[in-house]
Amino acid sequence: MAPVPLQRDTVQRPGTTRAGGAHGPRLASRTSLPGIPLAPSAARRFVRAALAEWTGLGVPAAVGFSDRLADDAVTVTNELVTNAVVHAGTTVDLVLRLEEEGGDEPSAALVLEVTDHHPARPVSGDEPDPAPEPGRAVAGELPDPAEYGRGLQLVATLADSWGITYRTGLKTVWARLPVDDWSAPPAPPDGEALRRGLRAAEILAPAARRTERDDAVWDSRGAPAFLAEASDLLAGQLDEDLVAAIAGQLLVPRLADWCAIWLETEGGGPAAEPRLARVWHSDETGAEPLRTALERAPVTLPAGAGSGPVPVPWPAHPGHPAEQAGEAEDSASPHPGGRDGAALAFRITAGGRMLGTVLVGREGDAQVPEAVSSLIEDFVRRLGLAVGAARAYTRQATISRILQRGLLPSKVADIPGVTSSLVYEPSDDGVVGGDFYDIFPCPGDRWCFVLGDVQGSGPEAAVVTGLARPWLRLLSREGFGVGEVLDRLNRLLLDDAMEAAEAAALMVAAAGGQQLHDGTQSRFLSLLYGEVVPLPDGGVRCTVASAGHPLPLLLRPDGSVRPAAEPQVLLGVVEDVAYESQVFDLEPGDTLLCVTDGVTERRSGPLMFDDGDGLARVLAGCAGLPAEATAEKIRRAVHEFAERPPDDDVALLVLHAD
């Protein structure tokens, strides 16, 4: 797997006052890395390169850059970036700062900041902690390793201090490493100092910014190997910006000195301007000037251009240090600084649709070799497929989220005398889930609650959910009992399934008798449906029925747990079923737990969460807890049962009599 090239800019800003009134520089070096497995190794190289660069600048604090400090900084960076990539999976921003403090005892420290763009914060206890104020750091207490992993324990051991800062849309983990003996005078260039310098150079030396390319390697073996690697890295990426970032790292520096990728705005119409999604340069200092030039004068391909290479003018790089020097030497040069070369543009297409443009440049070359140009063209075809797949997934996920919001209640009713808590976590597969819930009032001082699970997922599950929930509300408000509601819902599902089967038969007949495979599923539904009536002396009377659903569990204050319903057949399977209900009192202090099979059938290897009454054992440990704490404890137990995230929807409802 190829290393991730880095983009880095080093900023020199006025520093703090030192003893004696001298002012020194405060240095900062930063980069952005995609949330892929290559990011930690790239971050390690970035830190070593930054330390070497600062040493070369002659910064006094760099005297204290010992081998141990370099190793600690690299280790902390590796752990923080790995943690961000594993838990967030977003683009990771890395900042390395050298901070100096004056006074009677001047000091210096390296500060590492790793920021991801997924600020979700897991609950650290039974009761959720209040969210930190924006910009406030949470430090000094190590998070639960079950939630954050083991990496932060290592960070806490190596760092002088560390913490977590939450901002809108961002989460930053920072660590501070003190620089030892920073104020010591530079050692004379004797033999020992020379050996130490060579050792530091060996440890901190960055990779060469540009290596001489050998275009002869793109022969019959080199090109297929490159394309195979590219296909492997691009396949399965579900975010088009991440696809663009990976593409830039694959092209630079192996095939080009720099590249830029524009992506068309989906659904924006013919007048919508493409956006500059990624600019990548083999010389880190050239990325921002190149971006500025391309934003001012974006590449526009002629309407008749196909998928092949299109020569384009070499863009100017305003503000680039080398160009500024070149302008001073020869202001009449059309390409200041002598940084001209060959630039080619390629259309990104998939399925006949224009998705964007790739621009590549090779400095100092009169033209791009034909073998390289053909290889880039083949690569851009694969890039188009990856961008198209990412957009298709994004569209599907967006539709699923909209459907999910429409199929679930925007608000559940409050039941007098009962505290309720709901947990609903759809599986992260980009399709609408099959689980649904509801709590609503009915005439006659009654409240009804529902927890259901449609077989399968996607559009078919959405159809059944869209039918079942309003039907349930209508039947409940018409005054039917719990068992009667299930009887009628069962007949409605069977009638609807019969109509769907007749429609499918007509389609088969229209196709000349050929069997059609349209992905339709049988409309089976497991359902837990209950009715609650408040009692005059406290507590409530519950009437429940379970149709092919995990049975509800009743928890008493003494910790005893028992099922609160009897198993019955799924809805939409068998005609003429007489569903029966069970009645019991939920007294003050009692808790009723209702779950879907995403809880009971959560797997860890061959084991399931509810094997050996596992759910009942966890619930027994919730005696005396309020509804919200009980729901959170069970949710955490479900997640901690296996290392992998749940692959099915997780839904649970807790009713606690006050």
Overall average pLDDT of the 62-89 stretch: 81
pLDDT average, residue stretch 311-328 = 58
What integer pLDDT is reported at residue 98 of this predicted model? 87
Contact 641, 648 (CB under 8 A): no
Question: Which residue spans within 321-417 are E strands per DSSP?
Answer: 341-350, 353-363
- Distance between CA atoms of residues 338 and 234, nearest Å: 35
The verdict on residue 1 lying in a domain is no
Enter the tokens of residue 165: 């800062």
Query: Which of 204, 237, 258 is the last residue in one of the domains?
Result: 204
Name the residue with tokens 């033209």: 367
Cα 513 from Cα 509, distance rounded (Å): 5
Q: Do 377 and 445 reside in the same domain of the chain?
A: no
Give CA–CA dist 28/110, Å, rounded. 10
**Which candidate, 156, 165, 364, places its Cα nearest to that of 256?**
364
| 210 part of a folded domain | no
Is residue 617 assigned to a domain?
yes
The answer to whether position 230 is within a domain reads yes
Predicted confidence at residue 594, as pLDDT, reads 96
548: left (phi over 0), alpha (psi -120 to 50) or beta: left
Q: Are residues 187 and 264 in the same domain?
A: no
Tell me the per-residue pLDDT of 376-414, one tens digit each, with 9 for 90 and over: 999 999 999 999 999 988 887 777 777 766 667 777 889
Beta-carbon contacts of 404 under 8 Å, excluding residues fewer than 6 positions away, are 426, 432, 433
User: 389 and 432: one domain?
Assistant: no
Q: What percent of the chain has pLDDT over 70?
A: 72
pTM: 0.53
Residue 402: enclosing H or E segment and its boundaries? helix 370-407
Q: Which residue has 């009723």 as its token pair?
A: 592
Tokens of 466: 């869209």
Query: Which tokens is 533 given?
Result: 């009536």
List the CATH number of the domain containing 61: 3.30.565.10
User: pLDDT band at residue 113, thresholds of 50, 70 and 90?
Assistant: very high
551 and 484 belong to one structural domain: yes
pLDDT of residue 377: 94
Judged against a pLDDT cut of 70, whether residue 540 lies above it is answered with yes
Cα 503 to Cα 523: distance, rounded to the nearest angstrom: 15
Res. 326 pLDDT band, cuts 50 70 90: very low
Q: Are residues 170 and 294 in the same domain?
A: no
- Residue 255 and residue 358 in one domain: yes
**Alpha-carbon gap, residue 15 to 106, rounded angstroms:** 13
Instruction: Dihedral sign for Cα 184, 98, 248, 173, please.
Output: positive
The radius of gyration of the chain from alpha carbons, rounded to an integer in Å, stands at 32
What is the reported pLDDT for 214?
67
How many domains does the chain fold into?
3
**Under 8 Å between Cβ of 290 and 281:** yes
Residues in a beta bridge with 654: 421, 593
**Which strand (E) or helix (H) includes residue 627?**
helix 627-640
Q: Are 550 and 611 contained in the same domain?
A: yes
Domain harbouring 630, CATH code: 3.60.40.10
Q: Both 268 and 339 in a single domain?
A: yes
Q: Which residue has the higher pLDDT, 212 or 426?
A: 426
The answer to whether residue 304 sits within a structural domain is yes
Ordered DSSP codes for 257-281: SEEEEEEPPTT--TTPPPEEEEEEE
Task: Indicate the residue among 172, 204, 236 that finishes a domain.
Answer: 204
Residue 239 three-state SS: coil
Q: CB count, 10 Å around CB of 497?
A: 17
Q: What is the C-alpha separation between 246 and 228, in angstroms, rounded?
A: 14
The percent of residues in the chain predicted with pLDDT above 90, rounded, is 33
- 181 and 283 fall within a common domain: no
In-domain check, residue 140: yes
pLDDT at 217 over 80: no
Are 439 and 583 found together in one domain? yes
Q: What is the per-residue pLDDT across 467-510, written as a single tens digit (0 to 9) for each?
A: 888 899 999 999 899 999 999 999 988 887 666 555 555 554 55
Same domain? For 197 and 323 the reply is no
Q: Which residue has the higher pLDDT, 164 or 322?
A: 164
Kind plus residue range of the DSSP H or E element containing 145: helix 145-148
For residue 581, pLDDT beyond 90 = yes
- Sheet order of strands, 435-442 included: 435-442, 446-454, 525-534, 540-547, 582-586
Q: What is the CATH number of the domain that holds 376?
A: 3.30.450.40
What local confidence, expressed as pLDDT, does residue 366 receive? Answer: 86
Beta bridge partners, 607, equal 604
Asked whether 254 and 229 are in contact (CB, 8 A), the reply is no
> What is the per-residue pLDDT across 145-189, written as a single tens digit (0 to 9) for each?
443 444 567 787 788 888 888 777 788 899 998 886 544 444 444
Q: How many helices (H) and strands (E) does the chain have?
A: 15, 24
Does position 557 have pLDDT exceeding 90, yes or no? yes
Question: Could you read off the pLDDT of 618-653 as tens digits, one per residue?
Answer: 999 999 999 999 999 999 999 999 988 888 889 999
Tell me, yes or no, whether 86 lies in a domain: yes
Which of 38, 35, 36, 30 is closest to 7 using CA atoms?
30
When comparing pLDDT for 508 and 328, which is higher? Answer: 508
By the 8 A CB rule, do 258 and 279 touch?
yes
Q: By the 8 A CB rule, do 329 and 305 touch?
A: no
Of the three residues 175, 204, 233, the one that is the final residue of a domain is 204
- Environment class of 22 (CB within 10 Å of its CB; exposed 0-12, middle 13-18, buried 19+): exposed
Nearest to 112 by CA among 163, 58, 188, 64: 163
DSSP state of 248: H
Residue the block writes with tokens 């430090």: 139
- pLDDT averaged over the chain? 77
The answer to whether 538 touches 587, Cβ cutoff 8 Å, is yes
Which residues does 246 contact at the CB level (< 8 Å), separation at least 6? 34, 36, 233, 234, 237
Is the pLDDT score of 53 beyond 90?
A: no
Residue reference for tokens 């210096």:
108
Distance (Å, whole) CA 644 – CA 632: 19
Q: Is residue 250 part of a domain?
A: yes
- The pLDDT score that the predictor gives to residue 398 is 78
Q: Which of 638, 544, 537, 548 is nearest to 588 (CA)?
A: 537
Across the range 525-539, mean pLDDT stands at 92
Determine the average pLDDT of the residues in 411-434: 81
Q: 145 and 41, same structural domain? A: yes
Domain hosting 374: range is 215-398
Phi, psi of 305, deg, nearest 5: -70, 135
- Please, what is the end-to-end C-alpha distance for the chain in angstroms? 59
